[in-house]
Amino acid sequence: MKEIYTEIEINAPVSIVWSILTDFDDFSRWNPFIRKISGKLQEGAQIEVFIILPNSNGMKFRPKILTYDPEKELRWLGNFWIPKLFDGEHSLVINEISENKVLFIQKERFSGLFVPFFSGTLKDTESSFEMMNHALKEEAENRYNNQVN
C-alpha cells in the first residue's frame, strides 16, 4: 500500500471551497489535475473522472463514490483495469479552522499487485495534487475576496 497526502490552508469559508469542489462543470477552467468529473454526487454512485498527469495525455476512469458528506468530504474508489490490481481511494476533505479559513486535504491510498511498478506515476500524481491544491486556494480566495469587497 502507498499513500499520497497533501494539504493546504485556504483563506475562505467552507461553503466557498465546497462549492468550487462540487461544481464539476467548472473544473476545466481552474483545475490543472482533475479536468472533468461527471455523474451524480451521492454515495454509491459511479462517476466518470478525467485527470491529466504531467507528461501524459490524460486518463479516464469510473470510480464509485464511497463517502459524500456535504462541506466535509468526497471520497471515491477507482481501479485500473480490474479491482485489486491497482486501486486508488481518493479523498477530498475540508476541515474548518475558523469561520473564513479551512484546511483542504487531498489524499489517495493505492493498493493492489501493480502498485510497486508505478512509483514514477505516483510521484507525478503527488505533484498534480499539489498543483490542484494551489489552484483551489487561488480560486477560493479570489471568490471570497470578490464577495467581501
Q: Is 122 helix (H, G, I), strand (E, B) or coil?
A: helix
Confidence at residue 75, expressed as pLDDT on a 0 to 100 scale: 98
Confidence at residue 4, expressed as pLDDT on a 0 to 100 scale: 96
User: 114 versus 62: which is more confidently predicted?
Assistant: 62
Domain that holds residue 92: 2-148
Inform me whether the pLDDT recorded for 43 exceeds 80.
yes
Q: Domain count of the chain?
A: 1
Q: In this structure, what CATH number is given to the domain that contains residue 140? A: 3.30.530.20
Task: Tell me what the pLDDT averaged over the chain comes to.
Answer: 94
Inform me whether the pLDDT recorded for 81 exceeds 80.
no
Say if pTM beats, i.e. exceeds, 0.85. Answer: yes
How many helices and strands in the chain, by DSSP H and E? 3, 8
Show the cell assigned to 92.
477530498
What beta strand segments (E) does the chain contain? 2-10, 34-38, 48-51, 59-61, 64-69, 73-79, 87-98, 101-111
Inform me whether the pLDDT recorded for 149 exceeds 90.
no
Q: In residues, how long is the chain? A: 149
User: 81 versus 18: which is more confidently predicted?
Assistant: 18
Residues 103-131 have pLDDT tens digits of 999 999 999 888 877 776 778 899 999 99
CA proximity to 131, closest of 63, 52, 65, 71: 52
Kindly state the average pLDDT of the residues 60-64: 95
